[in-house]
Amino acid sequence: MKKSLLLFLLPLLAAPVFAQESRQDISISGTAIIAPYASGNAVQLHSTTGFAGALVGYRYLLTPHGGLELNYQYNQNVQHFLIPSGSYHIHDRFQEFSGAYVYSFNFKNFNPFIEGGAAGVMFSPIDDAKTDTFGISRNTNVGAMYGAGIAYEISPSFDIRAEYRGIVIKTPTFNYQNNDFRTNVWYNIYDPVIGIAYHF
């Protein structure tokens, strides 16, 4: 009787402890977007590196190791297209919206993690001195996002995160006339990030 009562009470005693654990966090990070050279369909695309970016993320843990993550990233860079008719530069806003599954490992204060999911990216041209062509508009591409990183817990509420992320999408075209900027290739944008997260 005592043994069965103990077995009944153990889950009830464990429930308040589990409820007190942090299952959510929000993070903010500095980012760099590094787009590789791409070519195809008689088009060459060179992109500058965007350094002045930020990534905001929200995670919800479904289990002690696995959870879901939503992200928004903003950055800017310059796309340089070389096509048979000439050379064109487009200064653009890079915006990422992504969702991923995250799996983490716990080693004392160090928490390595891996993630993967879907991403949508908007390339919005900026009409300034860095843009030297007309007849272009916002381009939205959908692809995949993956990453691996490590979080270091500095307190029960905060950790520092460093991560390598990759975003795999088709190269932008900016809806230029006759699809002249279309390479018809997918490329992998490298996206290193470092920031801080708050758990609640």
pLDDT, tens digit (0-9, with 9 covering 90-100), for 100-138: 999 999 999 999 999 999 999 999 999 999 999 999 999
pLDDT at 7: 46
pLDDT at 70: 98
Q: Do the domain assignments include residue 185? A: yes
Beta strands in the chain (DSSP E): 24-33, 38-40, 43-47, 50-61, 66-83, 86-104, 110-125, 139-153, 158-170, 186-199
Of 14 and 191, more confident = 191
Q: Do the domain assignments include residue 181? A: yes
With CA atoms as reference, report the closest residue to 98 among 169, 23, 162, 47: 169
For residue 49, give the CATH number of its domain: 2.40.160.20
Q: Do the domain assignments include residue 19? A: no
> What 8-state DSSP symbol labels residue 10?
H
pLDDT, tens digit (0-9, with 9 covering 90-100), for 1-50: 545 444 444 444 444 444 456 899 999 999 999 999 999 999 999 999 99
Q: Do the domain assignments include residue 15? A: no
pLDDT, tens digit (0-9, with 9 covering 90-100), for 47-88: 999 998 999 999 999 999 999 999 999 999 999 999 999 999
Q: What is the mean pLDDT of residues 134-149?
A: 97
Alpha helices in the chain (DSSP H): 2-20
CA distance to 55, 65, 92, 156, 196, per residue, from 30 (Å): 6, 25, 18, 22, 9
Q: Do the domain assignments include residue 18? A: no
Q: What is the pTM of this model?
A: 0.86
Q: Do the domain assignments include residue 52? A: yes
With CA atoms as reference, report the closest residue to 169 among 142, 148, 138: 142
Q: Do the domain assignments include residue 3? A: no
Taken in order 68, 140, 170, 94, the sign of the CA dihedral is negative
Number of domains present in the structure of the chain: 1
CA distance 107 to 129: 50
pLDDT at 3: 52
Contacts of 196 (CB under 8 A, 6+ apart): 27, 28, 29, 158, 159, 160, 161
pLDDT at 45: 98
Q: Do the domain assignments include residue 4? A: no
CA distance 70 to 13: 33
pLDDT at 52: 87
Domain of 84, in residue numbers: 24-199
